[in-house]
Amino acid sequence: MVVETIKESLSVNKLVATKSEVILVEGDMIVPDSKPDILNTICTSGVVCIYKKEIMEGKVRIDGNINTYIMYMAEDENDKIRGLTTTLDFSENIQIANASEEMNCKIITNLKSIEAKVINGRKIGIKAAIELEVKVYANETIAIVNSIPNGDGIQTLQENLLVNSLVGIGDNKIFSKDTININTEDNLAEILKANVCIGNKDVKISYNKILTKAEAEVKIMYLTEDNRIGNVTANIPIVGFIDIQDVTEENICDVEYEIRNIVLKPNSVEEHSIYIEIEIGVMATVYEEKEISLIQDLYSPVENLEFNQRRIATMRNKQENKNSLQIREKVTLEGMGDRNVIDVDVVPRIEKEHKKSSKIVYEGELELNFILSNSELQVDTRNIKIPFNYSIDNLEGVEDMITEMEMQVLNQDFIVQDGGVVAVNIDLGMNLNSYRTSNINVIDEIQTNGEREEEDYSIIMYIVKKDDSLWKIAKAFGSTVEDIARTNGIEDENVITPGQKLFIPHYTRVPSMNNV
């Protein structure tokens, strides 16, 4: 006979798999006829775009490209510095055994390196290494038994948990267009270098709707028609709405941004400006903090019970820790001479994460790529690496904490001193997202299957073993936790010790009022 139960639903966003892989992207570029021959390359930069991702059975397919910018020294004496722009396409299958079509995924990209080498005066070979971190999630709504209204005599092991239940997942596509103005005395010839990163992220939640706000910081180095190098930085707003049913202001929202495509070119309509268009994919995952009461185990002293039971992992204690890290160092640029610093790329990286008792320690590295130039437009580069440490203290249970650290360059300043010494002042935004998991028993389809075999005793003595609990002992002997505790004068039902002698009373069923 089926036992009547009361259930509540719990939506779980389970992390199925995480995989990091470095892929190599290679390609050749032919120099357009309108540009002079290449003597040597000076520096190469790129922006990774992911325009398609598809989850299939056992793998994740990723399609994207690298918008590549190459600054080179020309053989033509009249055109010392020139720039090239190209796109490197790539397609990669990341093997993930447990992946399936109904799942969703998050992809974090990091352009570890990119370089261009001269094959001949009209041809360049480009090689890039992209680090991909793929996280695959499965969504499941589970019906949890939290009470048995007419379970006369059925003993239940109840547990109350505070968990993060999934409310919903939504996405949107945002197109941001803008015109970046340069100095009015500069007549733009071509773009030499460009970097784009997403920062200043914020989210506002109202009923059934999420407003996502961020900025694309765009840094561009360009060449003027009279052979001068200029720099311009602009922040382009990225604003969009995502509709998710039943979302409220009290919910917790994770928002991920993916650059899908970039158009960057001299503005043909307005002088002294650069036109930029960015396509960005935005995905929001929303959770509610929910207190659930569930039955972890059950038995009847008088009847045999049959039920299905499985363990699931739930998310709990989801939180965000935002802070900043100041890095103040002095570095020496060898062979500086009469050169000036015209640009610096700052790339922060986490090398190691250590979880120790109540703290998390990160070992990282700042990679600084200096671009130098003198009055004769002779350009070269210097690469400096600065190690750093960052720690978060006063945390509880860090060993089972799942963490993700996101870094952003908030401010940067470089003061050139005598002898090629540069005072480096950098502020990093350190944003730690974390949560814990709990494995819980989920019980379903409870049925009775005849009376439990009667034991011929009224009371026996039992010696407590390691890993015993009153619940296990009561279930094994067909007694109850309350009866054993009362018989043995136990005040705290959760405290018994190995070797302790317990008297186990036989359970006596009290008739319900319906049977009187």
pLDDT of the chain along its 516 residues, tens only? 888 888 888 999 989 999 999 999 999 999 999 999 999 999 999 999 999 999 999 999 999 999 999 999 998 766 689 999 999 999 999 999 989 999 999 999 999 999 999 999 999 999 999 999 999 999 989 988 888 888 778 899 988 899 999 999 999 999 999 999 999 999 999 999 999 999 999 999 988 999 999 999 999 999 998 888 999 999 999 999 999 999 999 999 999 999 999 999 888 788 899 999 999 999 999 999 999 988 888 988 888 888 888 888 889 999 999 999 999 999 999 988 888 999 999 999 999 999 988 899 999 999 999 999 988 888 889 999 999 999 999 888 788 889 999 999 999 999 999 889 999 999 999 999 999 888 888 888 888 887 776 666 678 899 999 999 999 999 988 899 999 999 999 999 999 999 999 999 876 544 332 332
Instruction: Say whether 345 sits in a helix, a strand or coil.
Output: strand
In a domain, 104, yes or no: yes
In a domain, 61, yes or no: yes
Q: pTM of the entire structure?
A: 0.85
pLDDT at 453 (0 to 100): 67
CATH of the domain at 485: 3.10.350.10
One domain, residues 275 and 372: no
One domain, residues 184 and 286: yes
pLDDT at 513 (0 to 100): 28
Structural domains of the chain, count: 4
In a domain, 206, yes or no: yes
Closest CA to 60 of 99, 23, 13, 90: 99
In a domain, 331, yes or no: yes
Q: Which of 408, 440, 472 corresponds to the end of one domain?
A: 440
For residue 43, what are the domain limits? 17-138
One domain, residues 180 and 133: no
One domain, residues 282 and 347: no
Looking only at the bridges linking them, the beta strands covering 252-266 and 379-392 are: unpaired
Q: Which of 440, 469, 495 corresponds to the end of one domain?
A: 440
Classify 202 in phi/psi space as left (phi over 0), alpha (psi -120 to 50) or beta.
beta
In a domain, 5, yes or no: no
Give the burial string for 110-123 (b: 16+ CB within 10 Å, else e).
ebeebebebeeeee
One domain, residues 37 and 131: yes
Tokens read off for 104: 């969703």
Q: How many residues does the chain have?
A: 516
One domain, residues 433 and 477: no
Q: At what angle do helices 470-477 and 481-488 cross, to 10 degrees?
A: 110
